[in-house]
């Protein structure tokens, strides 16, 4: 009860409203701090200029031991103001009986002048950005167009907010009403992007992505390759609308696997235009001699290791009489408190003759086995391939 009393008496507001000339002021006192008094006074001024009331009601049902259900209703009302105060003056009053005092005053004429100045500046910026976007359209520069569109949207949002602030103080003149070309430009961008097509061609040396729209091949269109939700490499299309990715770059992290091909643009417009991405699968040629694979570890983990090595480009089998590639797998596991998720740290040792490679890896899974297999898939495939893809080897 004492805590509740302290809470209720912690902040005491003493509003003093004055409208001399065109000035709004508010005085607040607080037993908490001077900063708190300043904050309350600033809020009080904002509420006088513009305020809105929000109400909410919540129902909570409880059941006692006898099965009787009771409902409790609570309601809450809050008063909010979104007005942006410029040129507000804070005057700190004398501290009396442990209470801090603050008075905030705002000259509405000065505030409206500042807002009008911002609106004029934003109008010029929006007009300039509109011209730039139209040049982007002529160049069919989709990446720059989408970036400039995002900037124009921010300018329009800022203009709308300032216009709302001005309406709290005075009637808005017709010349300041928002006339944005944002809708027209967005419609053009969407209709153009919906005509874009991407074709992929995987050769022995490169992955070629060809991009066209309603007018033909697109120059300087940005294409990015991703793998396992991580970016691999980015290229722009040439005069023929082709982005050429070296196979070495494609296989940089995984000698075998798949990559996702998509535009390197703002995802908002890619999603809205339903621009289709492409998935390209590739397979590394088997390199080096054929190995007899032997593994010290659990059956499931050893099977996952053999598949991983095969996908990496090594020629491994269980045939006898072949040079031996040995693997030793060891893991340490740690479960979360609910034992629903396991983190596994693995040490993987690969050995052929005098060549040995030791790698540390980590995986997460719903049980130790799945965590071990996940850790194996995170091994550096290219490094392993380059280490053991020996052209000539013997037993």
5 Cβ contact list (under 8 Å, min separation 6):
none
- Count CA atoms within 13 Å of residue 195 on its CB side: 14
356 in Cβ contact with 350 (< 8 Å)? yes
Determine the Cα–Cα distance for residues 371 and 304; give it in Å rounded to an integer.
12
Q: What confidence score (pLDDT) does residue 78 get?
A: 41
One DSSP character per residue, 65-78 reads: TT--EEEEEEEEEE
End-to-end CA distance of the chain: 85
pLDDT of residue 252: 77
* SS3 at position 98: coil
pLDDT for the residue numbered 353: 87
The SS3 assignment for 219 reads coil
User: What integer pLDDT is reported at residue 132 of this predicted model?
Assistant: 95
- Whose tokens are 């509740």? That residue is 4
* 292, 321 Cβ separation under 8 angstroms: yes
Greatest CA span in the chain, whole angstroms?
102
Paired with 363 in beta bridges are: 344
Delineate the domains of the chain, giving CATH numbers in brackets.
2-107 (no CATH), 110-191 (no CATH), 196-282 (2.60.40), 287-388 (3.30.160)
How much is the pLDDT for 55? 39
Angle of helix 142-169 versus helix 108-139 axis, rounded to 10: 160
Please list the rounded mean pLDDT of every run of 10 residues in the chain (395 residues): 40 38 82 87 78 44 56 44 63 84 84 88 94 93 92 92 83 80 89 93 93 94 91 94 90 84 89 88 77 94 93 86 92 92 96 93 95 94 85 58
Torsion angle of C-alpha atoms 290, 292, 295, 298, degrees rounded to 10: 90
pLDDT value for 266: 85
Q: Are 244 and 227 in contact (CB under 8 A)?
A: no
């Amino acid at each position: 009860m004492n805590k509740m009393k302290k809470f209720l008496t912690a902040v005491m507001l003493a509003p003093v409203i004055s409208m001399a000339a065109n000035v709004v002021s508010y005085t607040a006192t607080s037993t908490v701090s001077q900063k708190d008094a300043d904050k309350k006074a600033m809020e009080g001024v904002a509420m006088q200029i513009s305020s809105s009331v929000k109400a909410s009601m919540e129902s909570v049902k409880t059941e006692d031991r006898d099965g009787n259900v009771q409902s409790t209703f609570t309601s809450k009302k809050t008063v909010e103001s979104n007005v942006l105060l410029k040129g507000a003056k804070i005057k700190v009053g004398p501290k009396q009986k442990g209470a801090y005092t603050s008075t905030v005053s705002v000259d509405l004429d000065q505030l409206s002048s500042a807002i009008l100045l911002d609106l004029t500046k934003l109008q010029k910026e929006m007009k300039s950005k509109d011209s730039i976007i139209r040049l982007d359209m002529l160049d069919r520069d989709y990446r720059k167009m989408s970036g400039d569109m995002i900037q124009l949207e921010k300018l329009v949002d800022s203009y709308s907010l300032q216009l709302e602030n001005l309406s709290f103080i005075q009637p808005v003149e017709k010349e300041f009403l928002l006339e944005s070309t944002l809708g027209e430009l967005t419609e053009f961008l969407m209709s153009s992007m919906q005509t874009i097509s991407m074709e992929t061609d995987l050769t022995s040396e490169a992955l070629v992505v060809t991009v066209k729209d309603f007018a033909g091949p697109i120059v300087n269109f940005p294409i990015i390759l991703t793998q396992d939700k991580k970016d691999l490499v980015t290229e722009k299309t040439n005069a023929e609308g082709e982005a050429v990715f070296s196979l070495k770059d494609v296989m940089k992290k995984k000698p075998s696997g798949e990559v996702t091909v998509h535009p390197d643009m703002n995802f908002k417009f890619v999603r809205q235009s339903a621009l289709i991405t492409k998935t390209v699968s590739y397979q590394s040629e088997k390199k080096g001699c054929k190995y007899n694979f032997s593994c010290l570890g659990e059956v499931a983990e050893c099977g996952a290791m053999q598949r991983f090595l095969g996908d990496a480009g090594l020629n491994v089998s269980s045939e006898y009489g072949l040079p031996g590639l040995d693997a030793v797998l060891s893991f340490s596991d740690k479960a979360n408190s609910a034992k629903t998720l396991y983190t596994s740290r693995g040490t993987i040792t690969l050995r052929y003759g005098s060549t040995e490679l030791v790698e540390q890896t980590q995986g997460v899974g719903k049980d130790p086995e799945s965590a071990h297999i996940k850790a194996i898939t995170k091994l550096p495939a290219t490094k392993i391939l380059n280490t053991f893809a020996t052209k000539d080897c013997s037993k």
